[in-house]
Amino acid sequence: MPNLNFLYTFNYDYHLDALCKLESRQIFDKEEKDKLLFSPIKVDPSISAFIKTRLEIISSSENYSELLEKIKKENIHIEGFTAEYLILDGDSRDRTERRKKLKDVGFCIEGIPNFTTPSITYSICRYEDIWYFGVLTKHHNDWHKHKKKPHSFSNSIGMDVAKSLICNASQGNKTTTLLDACCGVGTVLLEACISGFDIAGCDIDFNATKYTKQNLAYYNYTANVYCSDIKDHNTKYDAAIVDLPYNLYSYSSDEIMANIIESTAKLTNRVVIVSISDIEAVIQKSGLKVTDYCSIVKKGKSTFTRKIWICEKEGELKNKSRIASISKANSLDYSVTGLSTFDLSQLNIATDQDFPLPTNVRLGHLAEKVVSELIKSSTNYKVVYENVQILEAKKTIGEIDFIIEDIKTEQIIHVELAYKFYLFDPSISAEPINNWIGPNRNDSLTEKLEKLKRKQFPLLYHSCVKSTLKDLEIEEVSQALCLLVSLFIPYEYKGSFSPTYEKAIKGYYLSFEIFRSLNNPAITYYIPLKKEWGMDPSENDAWVEFDRIEQLLTERMQEKQAPLCWQKNGESYSQFFIVWW
């Protein structure tokens, strides 16, 4: 069964299928399938026009009675809850049976339910013969009120497309600062504002910016709107959206489009471009690289097609910094893990590594890509297999990260890779190894090691592996773990650690309340994207002041997410997690 934290359901019209899948790739690093997706990534459903619900999975089982027992063991005590049955593809149970199962779930929870204004909604569902139970979060459609905005253009993008452009630009991260470089009447700005994004708009047309400001004021939204040529704008942003002029109500040419794209590319490393013509050559000349793409037909107008381009500009220095952060990451050895260790320091490689990296993948996959390239560039090891999916009865039962060969000894090694961030909670146990947990307390070092020992390494000896890797003598393959970690300890913690832990400590963690009390006007901050975790904060050039970071962190605390935060104080840099628990 999927070992993931969240189950998302989707809903969209047929003409937006490609756009939904593009958004899904950008946020989750994989496409939704049958309007459903499992992911470890937590996203607010309401920022998307397509995500219908999010189920935060608490328990799962192939056996219904066993699931009920698991729910009881959670000892849930809460007033004002309700429960709903989430109907997924392939579930044909009638209303009577669904209601009965909801009663079963209700009897497993201590507290008085509230069916009109619940404090929390629990849900049960079944998918591919597995039962799931968890907390259900629904999409809020209050953004539909923007249909009545005072000003609009007949060929403006639709609200659903606007919301998706924001998701594609931000990759679902609400801390991303955004620019709408050709904002028109502010359709994109409205959707960004209602979702809590920090966005600015720019347009060379005076009437367009006037209408944008009036639309924003109508809903009491606040955003900076500039009436200027984009080439005269100099503020930096995390990402930008460019809906190029259509040459319908405003004049456009290849030269104008090139100027807009090139000027926008100077302000950010990530640009989402909307056009009605093929402009890939223009994009490439601007120094941007197209990393993903889709086209959508306007509903009811089969001849009017918009093309959406996801573009990245990855600086050479930042690319090298990302590679170095993984290649030099500390690994936990046998003294902690009880498993044979493959340390990246064993690779004979040049010190200054540089190679292309994917831009729209999760941190774990990014680490796999870097390690793969490092092994391939070494003179003493080579990759025999990587990312081998093991199938049984057409279902994936696991994946083998790497099969590598020591060139000198010809020893074949099965290597499992993990790139993890753990926080030390001394209140858990007297044994240090039990106290390393994930930032949101969803995982732990001991759980990871247990999974490796019980599932990931034994997978090599499954009968399906022998039929997949026919050219290997499985019995002669050795196994090793490459566990790369960044560790964080409590703020002002005075305890001591063994050298293995000590060398991997990168910072500290603290509560939001303590963070607020440490406000210093001389300090600036940045919340890195997940794919930036582990990088050197000194490489960053986008810093914000305390008031803005406090606003972003307040949202994270409400969502029970513990973000990593970088801090700059003069020429000094530090990093820490701010926890909600």
| pLDDT of amino acid 4 | 65
Are 515 and 478 in the same domain?
no
Q: Domain total for the chain?
A: 4
Are 117 and 222 in the same domain?
no
CB 146 within 8 A of CB 221: no
Asked whether residue 499 is assigned to any structural domain, the reply reads: no
Are 175 and 251 in the same domain?
yes
CB 212 within 8 A of CB 193: no
Are 167 and 308 in the same domain?
yes
In the numeric block, which tokens belong to residue 79?
A: 């007033």
Are 114 and 182 in the same domain?
no
3-state secondary structure 462-527: CHHHHHHCCCCCHHHCEEEEEEEEEEEEECCCCCCCCHHHHCCEEEEEEEHHHHHHCCCCCEEEEC
Asked whether residue 547 is assigned to any structural domain, the reply reads: yes
The domain boundary, picked from 444, 469, 494, lies at 494
Are 18 and 94 in the same domain?
yes
Show the CA angle centred on residue 253, arms to residues 249 and 259, nearest 5°.
Answer: 110
Asked whether residue 170 is assigned to any structural domain, the reply reads: yes
d(CA 191, CA 187): 7
Asked whether residue 157 is assigned to any structural domain, the reply reads: yes
Q: Structure pTM?
A: 0.74
574 backbone dihedrals φ, ψ, rounded to 5°: -150, 165
Q: Hey, what long-range contacts does 471-477 have (CB within 8 A, 24 or more apart)?
A: 472/384, 472/403, 472/412, 473/412, 476/412, 477/403, 477/412, 477/413, 477/414
In the numeric block, which tokens belong to residue 502?
A: 């000590």
Asked whether residue 484 is assigned to any structural domain, the reply reads: yes
Are 92 and 241 in the same domain?
no
CATH number of the domain residue 31 falls in: 3.30.2130.30
Are 12 and 68 in the same domain?
yes
Asked whether residue 500 is assigned to any structural domain, the reply reads: no
Are 272 and 365 in the same domain?
no
Are 284 and 199 in the same domain?
yes
Give the start-end residues of each E strand in 129-223. 130-138, 177-180, 198-203
pLDDT in tens, the chain (581 residues): 444 689 999 999 988 999 999 999 999 988 998 899 999 888 999 999 999 999 999 999 999 999 999 999 999 999 999 999 999 988 999 999 999 999 999 999 999 999 999 999 999 999 988 999 999 999 999 999 999 999 998 778 999 999 999 999 999 988 889 999 999 999 999 999 999 999 999 999 999 999 999 999 999 999 999 999 999 998 889 899 999 986 544 445 778 889 999 999 999 989 999 998 888 888 988 888 898 999 998 766 556 789 999 998 755 446 788 899 999 999 999 999 999 999 999 999 977 788 888 776 788 889 999 999 999 999 999 999 999 989 887 778 889 999 999 999 999 999 999 999 999 999 999 999 999 999 999 899 999 999 999 999 999 999 889 888 888 999 999 999 999 999 999 999 999 999 999 999 999 999 999 999 998 989 999 998 888 899 999 988 878 899 889 988 998 898 888 999 999 999 999 999 999 99
| pLDDT of amino acid 183 | 95
The domain boundary, picked from 295, 312, 329, lies at 312
CATH number of the domain residue 304 falls in: 3.40.50.150
Other beta carbons within 10 Å of 414: 27
Are 229 and 291 in the same domain?
yes
Asked whether residue 1 is assigned to any structural domain, the reply reads: no
| pLDDT of amino acid 2 | 45
Domain with 223 in it: 142-312
Are 186 and 284 in the same domain?
yes
The domain boundary, picked from 107, 123, 138, lies at 138
